[in-house]
Amino acid sequence: MKIHEYQAKEILRSHGVPTPRGRVTSDVADVPEICREFGGRCVVKAQIHAGGRGKGGGVKLANSPEEAGRLAGEILGMQLVTHQTGPGGQEVRTVLIEEAVDIDRELYLAITLDRAARKPMIMASLQGGMDIEEVAEKDPDAIVRQHFDPHLGLLPFQARSITDGLRLEGTTARQAQKLISHLAKAYMATDASLAEINPLLITGDGDVIALDAKMNFDDNAMFRHRDIADMRDLHEENPLEVRASEYHLNYIKLDGNIACMVNGAGLAMGTMDIIKLYGGEPANFLDVGGSASQEAVKNAFQILVDDPAVEAVLINIFGGIARTDRIARGVVGAIQELGDVTLPVVVRLEGTNVEQGRQILADADFDFIVATDMDDAAKKVVAAAGGDS
Amino acid sequence: MSIWVSNETRLLVQGITGTEGRFHALGCRDYGTEVVAGVTPGKGGQDVEGIPVFDSVSEARTETGCNATMIFVPPPFAADAVMEAADAGIELIVCITEGIPVNDMLKVRAFMDDSDSRLVGPNCPGVITPGQAKIGIMPGHIHTPGNVGVVSRSGTLTYEAVWQLSNVGLGQSSCVGIGGDPINGTNFIDVLSAFAADDETDGVVMIGEIGGTAEEEAAAWIQAERDAGRFDKPVVGFVAGRTAPPGRRMGHAGAIVAGGKGGAEDKMRTMRECGLHVVESPGEMGATMAKALG
């Protein structure tokens, strides 16, 4: 799960990580007054979940309360396009107004899980403001890495090894060690999957503060963090994905025109891959669940056909515990219930009682294109969507 | 032979009084697995269709001599259930539960560092040795006894592979679902070494997916073992998710391409370089294995 910068900063502050003073608003009229409160200079920051906001024009420095109001007016409501939003951009609904701070140096600091080591790992670099992926590619030696034990927490000598790697000294080093320890505690306490401070700022006075902050969380742990789960902002998610999540369906919108409905995440990915292999473009990832009940199939189908880009549908179900004939009845029932389905629908059913299942599809009022295996299904759906296969 | 599961298996089911636990406990028994006990704290003394229920794993272990467990406990309590089973010395722990927090799994791994128990999963279909016994939620009847091992991070894609193998006349020695979570108990290399040592396994189908580096590590292991003359069985590989957009979790908690790492193309390339028979299409797993085995 993702949250906004201002929310991440609230969480980090509550764990003792220093940040600039700031206030969040959706009302331009508030902005000059907030700016005055911070001494007449401030930074106006668009709050959307995507990164790269600065380059996209969503972060601006204001030298007066009036300028702050004007900039906030430009940013609020804009479709902010960054390398992470896609070409349509994301509407800015709130802005964070922060005091302007004096910058000496910008560093990078983050914690994430190292799956291979099965430990959280701190990454830091001298290249603040740059994407860590970019640094890793261009100058891998510039990244300082430090694992820590999730149960013992970050030990003081480990925090010192990071600040040594960042060539920090004196009170600046000590402040940074404290900040890193607080960040590690916040990361563990909130079941975060990513806590990133980019840039981590060294001010002209040698103080260390988190100028930006990003936190992602383990969806599976949100049952024990109601407060964080409540920070979910549905405006930041694709509306079809929001609807699918209400039905407990695993759905991710993609750019293609061939919708797919599959049971199981692995088979769903495999189905997308095989569509692409035969020259088509998948419109989505969708796992209807292992048992593919009629209710789930109906809800899923409705979401698929509500995507205007979709020109053909591929249903690929492996009937295991749930028998294929029962699944076939579910698919037919769902289509009858929906009524006006005009798209070509390719169905590939496999597994137990497959002959009865295919017969049910053949006898149905709807003209299913029946496929015998995955390759056949992919070729047929690509052709039905007018692809180049 | 086969690996880990056989007609010697005496199965315990943790969470047996829940809907899923009950359904699949009976499914395993119907397949031929000896299901000797269930555990649900507070429900000791009851029975599920003749399977006695105990309050704790150690009690079940003492009373029935169970040597394997299948866990259906809900996510908030599943990690505790795994650790309880390890503490009671259960040799094989198969955790089906999906949705366990990563930090809970880190705890489990730390707890099991000194344990002799093997954990398979979580978020997996389980382990089956066709014709002998199954521990898990896979449809038993699609499997046929034979000499191909299957190891996979995905459930239904494993069934797909098994189906294709059975259709080309290749039975399976054992099939192991290692699960779709970022932190799991048993990895590809554990299963591959067991298949390498198993006389009745002549080839292996290995199904990976995006996220992490487990496939690359397994491929490097295969090559090293092959170079050392210890592993000469063909391995057919597929990696799901080459069309997955970066940064999105594809159903499984562990299936994510992050920071430019964990993509399917890289994994498939490494697997090919290490001598695996990599299929581009998931529809060709069975046929490719048939060809590889001549």
DSSP string, A224-282: G-HHHHTT--GGGS-HHHHHHHHTT-EEEE-SSSEEEEESSHHHHHHHHHHHHHTT--B
The question of whether A196 is a catalytic residue gets the answer yes
CA distances from A362 to A262, A263, A297, A324 (A): 20, 21, 18, 14
Buried b (16+ CB within 10 A) or exposed e, B121-137: bbbbbbbbbbbbbbbbb
Query: Quick one: which of B187, B228, B211, B204 has its CA closest to B276?
Result: B204
- Across the strands, what pairs with A111? A122, A195
Q: Closest Cα of chain B to A266: distance in Å?
A: 5
Q: What is the mean pLDDT of residues A261-277?
A: 94
Q: What is the CA A93 to chain-centroid distance, rounded? A: 18
What are residue A95's DSSP bridge partners?
A: A25, A46
* Local structure of residue B245 (DSSP, 8 states): P
pLDDT at A215: 97
pLDDT value of position A163: 97
Which has more confidence, B15 or A297?
B15
In the stretch 172-191 of chain B, residues with CB closer than 8 A to chain A read 180, 182-183
pLDDT of residue A291: 67
B121/B82 Cα distance (integer angstroms): 10
Determine whether A147 is exposed, middle or buried from the number of CB atoms within 10 Å of its CB (0-12, 13-18, 19+): middle
Measured between beta carbons, the chain A residues lying within 8 angstroms of B183 are 113, 115, 118
What number of C-beta contacts closer than 8 Å exist between A and B? 177
Dihedrals φ, ψ of B79, to 5°? Answer: -60, -40
Is A388's pLDDT higher than 80?
no
C-beta atoms of A276 and B103 within 8 A: no
**Separation of alpha carbons A73 and A30, rounded Å:** 11
Measured between CB atoms, which of A191, A352, A374 is closest to B139? A352
pLDDT of A129 reads: 79
- pLDDT the model gives residue A389: 42
Q: What is the pLDDT of residue A290?
A: 65
Find the closest chain A residue to B23 by CA distance. A321
> Per the CB < 8 Å rule, is A118 touching B106?
yes
Residuewise pLDDT in 10s, chain B (294 residues):
689 999 999 999 999 999 999 999 999 999 999 999 999 999 999 999 999 999 999 999 999 999 999 999 999 999 999 999 999 999 999 999 999 999 999 999 999 998 999 999 999 999 999 999 999 999 998 999 999 999 999 988 999 999 999 999 999 999 999 999 999 999 999 999 999 999 999 999 999 999 999 999 999 999 999 999 999 999 999 999 999 988 888 878 788 777 777 899 999 999 999 999 999 999 999 999 999 998
Q: How far is CA A166 from CA A102, A145, A158, in A?
A: 20, 11, 13
* pLDDT the model gives residue A321: 67
Helices and strands in chain A: count of H runs, count of E runs: 13, 18
Sign of the C-alpha dihedral, residues A376, A381, A382, A387? Answer: positive
Name the minimum distance, in Å, from the CA of B173 to any CA of chain A.
19
Contacts of B259 in chain A (CB under 8 A): 132-133, 136
Is residue A387's pLDDT more than 80? no
Query: Mind listing the pLDDT tens digit for each residue in A183-198?
Result: 999 999 999 999 999 9
Residue B64 structure tokens: 């029935």
* Whether the predicted model's global pTM rises above the 0.80 cut: yes
* SS3 label, residue A315: strand
Specify whether A247 is catalytic. Answer: no
Would you place residue A344 in the very low, low, confident or very high pLDDT band (cuts 50, 70, 90)? very high
Nearest to A320 among B104, B142, B284 (CB): B142
Which of A108, A187, A251, A278 is catalytic? The answer is: A108
Out of B109, B138, B283, the one facing A274 most closely (by C-beta) is B283
Looking up tokens 């590590």 gives B217
